[in-house]
Amino acid sequence: MALRKIAETIRCAALLGSLVAAPTLTSASIVYAQDSAEESSVRQAHIEQTEKAKIAVSTVTSGLERPWGLAFLPDGSFLVTERPGRLRHVSRGGAVSAPFRGVPTVAASGQGGLLDIALDPAFPENRTAYIAFVEPRDSGSGIVVIRAVIDLDRLALTDVETIFSQKDSGRGNANFGVRLVPDDEGFLFITVGDRFSTRDKAQDLDSHLGKVLRINTDGTVPIDNPFVGQDNALPEIWSVGHRNAQGAALNPKTGELWISEHGARGGDEINIVRKGLNYGWPIITHGVDYSGAPIGIGNARDGLEQPIYYWVPSIAPSGLAFHDGGQIEPWRDSVFVGALAGQALVRLEVADEAVTHEERILTGLNERIRDVRTGPDGYLYLLTDSENGRILRIGPSR
Residue 32 domain flag: no
Is 133 a member of any domain? yes
Measured CA to CA, the distance from residue 226 to residue 229 in angstroms comes to: 9
Q: Residue 19: what pLDDT?
A: 31
Per-residue pLDDT, averaged over 149-158, amounts to 98
For the cut 80, the answer to whether the pLDDT of residue 363 exceeds it is yes
Q: Look at residue 2 and tell me if it is in a domain.
A: no
Residue 34 has pLDDT above 50, yes or no: no
pLDDT attached to residue 227 = 98
Q: Are 41 and 59 in contact (CB under 8 A)?
A: yes
**How does pLDDT run across 68-88, given as a tens digit for each residue?**
999 999 999 999 999 999 999
Kind of pairing between the strands at 344-351 and 335-339: antiparallel
Mean pLDDT value of segment 22-35: 36
Tally of domains within the chain = 1
Q: What is each CA distance from 356 to 15, 187, 256, 335, in whole angstroms?
A: 44, 31, 19, 11
Domain that holds residue 248: 44-396
Tell me, yes or no, whether 85 lies in a domain. yes
33 pLDDT exceeds 80? no
What's residue 45's pLDDT?
82
Per-residue pLDDT, 191? 98
| pLDDT reading at 27 higher than 70 | no
201 — pLDDT class (breaks 50, 70, 90): very high
The answer to whether residue 37 scores a pLDDT higher than 50 is no
User: Per-residue pLDDT tens for 127-142?
Assistant: 999 999 999 999 999 9
Span 141-164, average pLDDT: 98
User: By percentage, how much of the chain surpasses pLDDT 70?
Assistant: 89
Lowest mean per-residue pLDDT among 20-34, 110-124, 255-269: 20-34
CATH at residue 336 = 2.120.10.30
pLDDT of residue 16: 37
With pLDDT > 90 as the criterion, what percentage of the chain qualifies? Answer: 88
Length of the chain (residues): 398
Is 55 a member of any domain?
Answer: yes
Q: What is the pLDDT of residue 44?
A: 57
C-beta of residue 249 within 8 angstroms of C-beta of residue 322: yes
Residue 6 placed within a domain: no
Residues 300-344: tens digit of each pLDDT: 999 999 999 999 999 999 999 999 999 999 999 999 999 999 999
380 pLDDT tier (thresholds 50, 70, 90): very high
The tens digit of pLDDT for each residue in 222-259 reads 999 999 999 999 999 999 999 999 999 999 999 999 99
Confidence of residue 24 (pLDDT cuts 50, 70, 90): very low
| pLDDT tens-place string over residues 83-130 | 999 999 999 999 999 999 999 999 999 999 999 999 999 999 999 999
Cα 155 to Cα 25: distance, rounded to the nearest angstrom: 8
Q: Which of 44-48, 131-135, 246-250, 282-286 has the lowest mean pLDDT?
A: 44-48
Q: How confident is the model at residue 26 (pLDDT cuts 50, 70, 90)?
A: very low
pLDDT at position 180: 98
Q: What is the pLDDT at residue 42?
A: 36
More confident residue, 45 or 11: 45
The answer to the question of residue 39 being in a domain is no
Rounded to the nearest integer, the mean pLDDT of the chain is 91
Question: In the prediction, which pLDDT does 160 show?
Answer: 98
Within 13 Å, how many C-alpha atoms sit on residue 204's CB side? 12
- The closest of 311, 306, 316, 366 to 338, measured between CA atoms, is 316
pLDDT exceeds 90 at position 14:
no
235 C-beta neighbours (distance < 10 Å), count = 18
Q: Is residue 12 part of a domain?
A: no
